Amino acid sequence: MIRLSNTLPLIAALMAPLPALSADLDPSDWDAVLEQAQGQTVYWHAWGGSTATNDFITWIGQQVAEQGVTLEHVKLSDTADAVSRVLNEKQAGQDEDSAVDMIWINGPNFAAMKDAGLLYGPFAEQLPNWQYVDTTGKSVQSDFTVATEGYESPWAMAQVVYMYDSADMVPQHSAEAILEWAKANPGRFTYPQPPDFLGSTFLKQTLIELTDNTEVLLRPADQADYAAVTAPLWDYLDALTPVLWRSGSAYPASGPAQLQLMADNEIDLAISFSPGEASTAIANFQLPDTVRTFVLEKGTLGNASYVAIPYNSGSKAGALVVANALLSPQAQARAQDPAILGYGTVLAMDKLSDEDRATFAALDLGIATLSPAELGTALPEPNPSWMTLITDDWTRRYGAGQ
């Protein structure tokens, strides 16, 4: 192993026709990174379905422009488009200048890309602003139980909350309570259709609620009795589906599509992976101002949003500058402002300067956002294999017209 890692840079140097910029790039030599980043254009492939996020990315672009980097937001309708892109580039031998310089990535896509050797790194822990990151209190070094090993950099914390219309219902603090409420109010609840990310999250959240042994979920599913562990989930869904919106014949396509259903008063309850989403949506006229949020008594799933850099990006230095800018206290405070984005920060308050800490403290979290104390326990994500299996199983049971 040691010998291999010694010879790798040599092989890379031999194979590169020109002094390869990326091979020389050392994220810990930040001055050199800044110098290389001058004039680079970073194409950040990020989901473009949320206006609030798009505006925030535009603002980040203005910040990095001051450091000589141009940021272009490539608005995706599906993160997998960027993954396929890099995959096709590898297949075609395009190893130098990818169309993708940075991806807003989620757990399963990260695991797939890291396995296939499609990512650049490690870089995250060498970023200057990493010093502020809360590495003890927040799970920013593992993504769906997969160790990130510096191959992706966190930029926002997410935790499952349930949005409800307080004009129509009161909070229900457990999966069982939600089922009872749904039976009493048929047609007023739904969730995004798996394999949508948030829909799968609903399945995982419910599974964690219903299973007695959450430890088993942290290990790959093939090391457990899958059928026995998931049986309570299917019993639950068999009871829930007939009283869902449209009796479970149709589902909203994505998380934001639920907002529209709530605004249309088609449903009263919806899941969200962002504690501040409801407040932001109210500010954007996307939700009625009677919407509030609640969490479950036993806690809800939490994870971080990450950015990763493809192995073949032609603007890695620029991408590092953007990743670093996302971690700046200024950007993090802006992201947490519900009038802007309402995303939880990944920074540790005790690592910040007094002035920055005051900025965070002064933020009004918004009308529908729970305080960090009210948010309660953030549960760890199950191993990705569980998500794959229960999503497939869901599709067989409820998504194929059986």
Partner 1 sequence: MHPLAQRIVAFGAARVSGLSAPSALGLIPALTLLAMLGPVGAGVLGTVLPAFGYLPAAGLSTLSFDPIIALFDWPGLTAAVRLSATTGLVATSLSLGIVTLTLAGWHGTRPFRMLERLLSPLLSVPHAATAFGLAFLVAPSGWLSRLASPLTGWDRPPDLLIVQDRWGLTLTAGMVAKEVPFLLLMTLSALGQADAPRRMRVAQALGYGRITGWLKTVFPAVYAQIRLPVYVVLAYSMSVVDVAIILGPSTPPSLSVQIVQWMSDPDLSRRLTAAAAALLQGALVFAALALWRAMEFVVARLGCLWVERGNRGVADPVLRPLGLVLGLLSALAILAGLLGLAVWSFAGFWAFPDAMPQELSFRNWNRYLPGILTASGTTALIAILATGLALVLVLGCLESEYRSGRGLTQRGLWLIYLPLLVPQTAFLPGLQTLLLSLGADKALWAVVLVHLVFVLPYVFLSLGDPWRAWDRRNGTVAAVLGASFWGVMWRVRLPMLLRPIVTTAAVAFAVSVGQYLPTLLVGGGRVQTLTTEAVALASGGDRRAIGVYAVAQTLAVLLPFILALSLPAIIWRNRRGLHG
Distance of closest approach, residue 265 Cβ to partner 1, in angstroms? 4
Nearer Cβ to partner 1 (21/80): 80
Nearer Cβ to partner 1 (247/353): 247
Distance from C-alpha of 171 to C-alpha of 298, rounded to nearest angstrom: 14
Buried/exposed 63-85: b ≥16 CB within 10 Å, e otherwise: bbeeeebebebbebeebeebbeb
Nearer Cβ to partner 1 (49/171): 49
Nearer Cβ to partner 1 (49/380): 49
Nearer Cβ to partner 1 (19/117): 117
Q: Of 198, 205, 201, nearest to 175 (Cα)? A: 205
Distance of closest approach, residue 97 Cβ to partner 1, in angstroms? 8
At a CB cut-off of 8 Å and minimum separation 6, what does 368 contact? 163, 278, 279, 282, 287, 291, 292, 293
Distance of closest approach, residue 350 Cβ to partner 1, in angstroms? 36
Cα distances from 32 to residues 25, 26, 129, 328, in angstroms, run 8, 8, 16, 19
Residues that bind partner 1 (CB under 8 A): 43, 45, 47-51, 55, 72, 74-78, 80-85, 87-94, 99-100, 108-109, 111-112, 116, 186-187, 193, 195, 245-254, 256-257, 259-261, 263-266, 285-286, 288-289, 388, 395-396, 398-402
Q: Does residue 240 sit in helix, strand or coil?
A: helix
Angle in degrees, CA 106, 111, 114, rounded to 5: 115
Burial of 327 per CB tally in 10 Å (0-12, 13-18, 19+): buried
Q: Are 48 and 72 in contact (CB under 8 A)?
A: no
Q: Are 306 and 143 in contact (CB under 8 A)?
A: yes
Nearer Cβ to partner 1 (150/187): 187
Nearer Cβ to partner 1 (7/77): 77
Nearer Cβ to partner 1 (34/262): 262
CA–centroid distance for 63 within its chain: 22
Angle in degrees, CA 72, 78, 79, rounded to 5: 65
Cα distances from 315 to residues 85, 152, 161, 192, 366, in angstroms, run 16, 16, 37, 36, 37
